[in-house]
Each structure stands twice: as structure tokens, then as C-alpha cells.
Structure 1
Amino acid sequence: MKNLKKIVLSLVTIALLVLMVACGQSGNQHAATPIPTVTPEPTQAAEPVNLTVSAAASLTDAMEEIKAAYINENPNVTIDYIFASSGSLQQQIENGAEVDVFLSAAVKQMDALKNKGLLIDETRKDFLENKVVLIVPKNSTSVTGFKDLTSEAVKQIGLGEPTSVPVGQYSEEILKNLNLLDSIKSKVVYGKDVREVLTWVETSNADAGMVYETDAKISDKVKIVAHAPEGSHVPVYYPAAVIKASKNVDAATDFVNFLYSEKAKPIFEKYGFAFMVK
């Protein structure tokens, strides 16, 4: 009898052990399946782009600051500037220069490119306005207004070359409307762009000169003695556009849209331009 009890007890113990093992295996089967770790693919960097921007010389300082602001938001973009008179830049583009964006100091040059089918027309916009002023060396007292240009004390007057430099075209229009051009023509020396005229007056190589107000304001060596009278010349508007032959149309369009944006406005206004985009 005792042996029978031992046998029964052993069988019960074995059964319990088998049951415990089975439960353990069942628990393992229902354990949560670990989620495989997925390493995200790195974000692909934007393709590098180099833009060539031809801009009127009067935009030099403002555009350098614009470049820094734009590249800060678009680090894949590099920008090369060509600064010269608007007429010279127009001719370069007409002759096939690889340019992505053109910024002119007058609508005349932009219209010429439009008429030859060289622009992406929908990207064009007049976005800045400037003023024409008469300047003299900082310490000069011989000129206080346009009429003083006829004085014998004034030997040389700096103007932009009217055939290629917009400020020269505006200047001659102003002087004609003031009935002064014929009487001072013999004193006039013509500069290749507005910055050359500014330099002549800064160094007293010219007794007076006509430049944009924005150019005069960047120099501490000249002073403004007169603004062009209201109505004495057509408005000084600066248009921008993407060149149709650009190999970087998307990036170039994005850049001109930046020029038209509220982000660019305070930079241009800092240098004295009136921002026209509403």
C-alpha cells in the first residue's frame, strides 16, 4: 500500500512538472514580438547650384547683403555677380553670356532683351525705385544747385555715359529740362558706370556729378546739394528677370522671388531704395 502511494505521488509530481513546463512554453509563445529597428535613410542634400547674376553697378552694396541672406537659407547655392552699367550687361547677354538673372537700373535695357525674346517674361517685375541727385566733394562750396554748374568755378562735371549707363540717360534728360545741357556740355566727362562718376567726385577729379541717391549715401566723401526736380525725368525703376537661356531656371526664379519678398525689403531700404513690390 505504501509503495502504491509513493508511485501515485511520483506520478502527480511528474504531471505537475510537465504542466509547469508547458505553461512556460505557452507564455513564451505569446510574448510580444520585438519590433525590428529601422534606420531612416539620410535626407538627400540639395544639388549644388551656381547662379550668375548681372546687376547694375548701383546695386553693388545691397546685392552683397542680399547674397548673404539668400545663401543662409539656401546653402546649396553659390552666386557670382557681374556689376557694370545696365547697357553693358544687356549687350553681354545679347552676345550669349551665360547669365541666369538680370537686374537693370532702367526699363529700357530690360525691354530690349524682352523684345529679342531673351527673358522668361513671367519672372519680370519692377521692384525698386531710386532718385537722381547732384553731388559735390564734401568740402566744396562752389555748387549749391543745378544752376551753379554754369559757373566758371566748375571745370568738370561727371555724368554716366548716356548710351549705356541709365543714370547718364536720366542726367541728360534732367539737364535738358532745366535748359542747362547745352551750356555745360563742354565741361562734361562721361563715366562707364555710376560708381566711376562717384569716384571722380570723391577724389575731386570732378567738381560735381550726377548719381543715384543710393550711391551718394554710401560715401562720406561727397554731399548731395540738389535732387532732380519732380517731373524732370522718367521714374528710375529697377526691373529684374530670369534669362531664358539660364541652365538653372528653377533656382534663378527662386532667387528673383526672394528679391521681391518681404525678407529682401529691409535690406534694399537700408541702402536707400524704395521697395515697389506690394
Structure 2
Amino acid sequence: MFKKYSILTTALTVFLLAAGCSASQSSSDNEKEVTLTVSAAASAQDALEEIQKNYEKTHHNITIQDNFGSSGALQKQISQGAGADLFFSAAEDKFQKLVDDGDIAKKDSTDVVGNEIVLVVPKDGDSPVKSFDNLTDSEKIALGTPESVPAGAYGKESLTKLSLWNKIKDKIVYGKDVRQVLSYVETGNVDAGVVYKTDALISKKVKIVDEAKADTHSPIVYPLGIVKDTKHHKEAKEFYDYLQTDEAMKVFEKYGFTAA
């Protein structure tokens, strides 16, 4: 009798363990693999890539792919139906266009970080530019295309406020985004360039020679929103919330961003 009882107990234990493993496996299988596409301003690339890497470590079913570019170009892509789950813009007006058009719900949007505009020159070159004050001494100046690149628009505002725009506009070499502007300066193809402070800080080939005062341009704010047509709203909302946490903000600050 004892032997039969022992065999029954063992069989029951094995059954329960198997059932538990099966339930666990089933739960794991139900956690579907999701790829989120984030359309983001080029100036946020380094910070976002680190934040996303941290996020994926604890969210094994989530893969985040980025579409970096100028905020104006990204806004047009989303307006035309390009697949994106979240939009992280460097310009409020480009972002607001999507809100006004119904592509992003106001309740699914928020301002995350801020930035600054700086003047940079090649670190090892002999640029004549020492500050905005003597920018007219340069032969070529790099700037993002103001119509589509927020850093270019802010830069143009500052240069106009400083009564420099009309004096230097014929010397400007335009870039498709702020990273291209940075590249022009790094390679010495221009004497100086106007970029975000965050971009200048990640490059070892340029140095900051001046900063545009806040009262010379509109406030620089990076809004974040969930694209209405996302097929993964739950997962997009979770990452949207994570980008506003203290953990994510520490990374943003590490790369030179400020709290919005």
C-alpha cells in the first residue's frame, strides 16, 4: 500500500510540475514580440540609443528601431502615412502640425527635454571665428536648412536678432539635418557651424566658441507623442512613459539636454 501511495504521489508531483512549466511557457508565448519605430530628431540620436538599449534589457519582447532625421522631414513622412509609433521632435511647430491634423492625439503628447544653440569651430583648425561677434570674418558657415531643420531655424533667429543674418547669409552652407552641419565643421569644410549644444558635446573634433542667449531665439523644446495610427498603442504608451522617467532623464542630461 505504501509503495502504491509513493508512486501515486510521485506521478502527481511530476504532473503538477509539467503543468506549471506548460503554463509558464504559455504565458511567455503570449508575450508577443513587438518592434516599435521611433521617428526622432537627429540631435537626439546618441541619448535615445542609450535609453533604448536600457529599456530593451528589461523588455525582452520589445525591439526599438529608429528613423532619425530633421524634424520637418519626419513630420512630412508621418503626415504622408509613413509607419511610425512615436515621434520625438526638436521643433514644437512641426509637432503641433501633426496634433492639429489629428495624427497625434493631444492626450498622447508631452514636452520632454530642452536644448541650447551654440557656435562651433573645428577643434584642430585655424578658424578665424572666435564668437558670434566676429562671425563675419568667416568664409563659410554651416547651418541646418531653416525650413526643415529646427536647429537651423533657431540659429537663423539668433543670427537675425544679433543683426548678422544679412551680413553672412551668402556664406552659408546648408545641411539636411544638424548632424550633417556638425560633419561639415568636423571635416574643416567650413569655418564655423551653428548646432545644438548636445551635438557639440558628443564630438571630439569641434569646440564651442559661443552660445546663443535664450532671448535671441524661441524656446527650444522637444515634444514627444504617440502616432495615432500605431498598431502597438499599449507598447508605445509604455515606452512613451519610460522616456519621462528619472532613469531616462539622467541619460538625457548626460548628453547635455535640460528638463523641459
Q: Same fold (TM over 0.5)?
A: yes
Mapping 1:158-237, distance limit 5 Å: 158-237=142-221
Query: Which residue of 2 is the match for residue 59 of structure 1?
Result: 44
1:141: how far off?
A: 4.8
1:144: how far off?
A: 1.1
Q: Structure 1 residues 37-46 or 172-181, which shifts more?
A: 37-46
Aligned mate of 2:69, from 77, 84, 100:
84
Is residue 149 from structure 1 mapped to residue 135 from structure 2 by the alignment? Answer: yes
Query: Which residue of 2 is the match for residue 9 of structure 1?
Result: none
Mapping 1:37-116, distance limit 5 Å: 37=13, 38-39=16-17, 40=20, 41-43=23-25, 44-45=27-28, 46-116=31-101
Query: Which residue of 2 is the match for residue 264 of structure 1?
Result: 248
Contact kept in structure 1, 2:141 and 2:173, CA below 8 Å: yes
Aligned mate of 2:235, from 251, 254, 257:
251
Q: Deviations over 1:134-161 (max 9, x none)?
A: 001113351111121112xx11000000
Q: Sequence identity of aligned pairs in percent?
A: 44
Q: Deviations over 1:88-109 (max 9, x none)?
A: 0000000100100000001111
Opposite residue 217 of structure 1, the aligned amino acid is: L
Report which of the two has the higher share of helix: 2
* Residue aligned with 1:122, SS: strand
Query: In 2, Cα distance between the equivalents of 1:42 and 1:214?
Result: 45
Q: Deviations over 1:111-130 (max 9, x none)?
A: 00001000032121101010
Give the structure-1-normalised TM-score.
Answer: 0.85
* Residue aligned with 1:241, SS: strand
Query: Which residue of 2 is the match for residue 118 of structure 1?
Result: 103
Opposite residue 130 of structure 2, the aligned amino acid is: T
Contact kept in structure 1, 2:127 and 2:192, CA below 8 Å: no
Q: Name stretches of at least 5 consecutive residues in structure 2 with no aligned partner.
A: 2-7
Larger Rg: 1
* Residue aligned with 1:99, SS: coil
Q: Name stretches of at least 5 consecutive residues in structure 1 with no aligned partner.
A: 1-24, 26-32
Query: Which residue of 1 is the match for residue 4 of structure 2?
Result: none
* Residue aligned with 1:75, SS: coil
Query: In 1, Cα distance between the equivalents of 2:73 and 2:116?
Result: 21
* Residue aligned with 2:224, SS: strand
Is residue 136 from structure 1 mapped to residue 106 from structure 2 by the alignment? Answer: no
Q: Deviations over 1:169-189 (max 9, x none)?
A: 000100110001001011011
Give the structure-2-normalised TM-score.
Answer: 0.90
Query: In 1, Cα distance between the equivalents of 2:196 and 2:53?
Result: 24
Query: In 2, Cα distance between the equivalents of 1:175 and 1:112?
Result: 26
Opposite residue 202 of structure 1, the aligned amino acid is: E
Opposite residue 180 of structure 2, the aligned amino acid is: E
CA RMSD in angstroms comes to 1.8
* Residue aligned with 1:183, SS: helix
Query: In 2, Cα distance between the equivalents of 1:179 and 1:198?
Result: 23
Query: In 2, Cα distance between the equivalents of 1:148 and 1:270?
Result: 31
* Residue aligned with 1:231, SS: helix
1:133: how far off?
A: 0.1
1:34: how far off?
A: 5.6
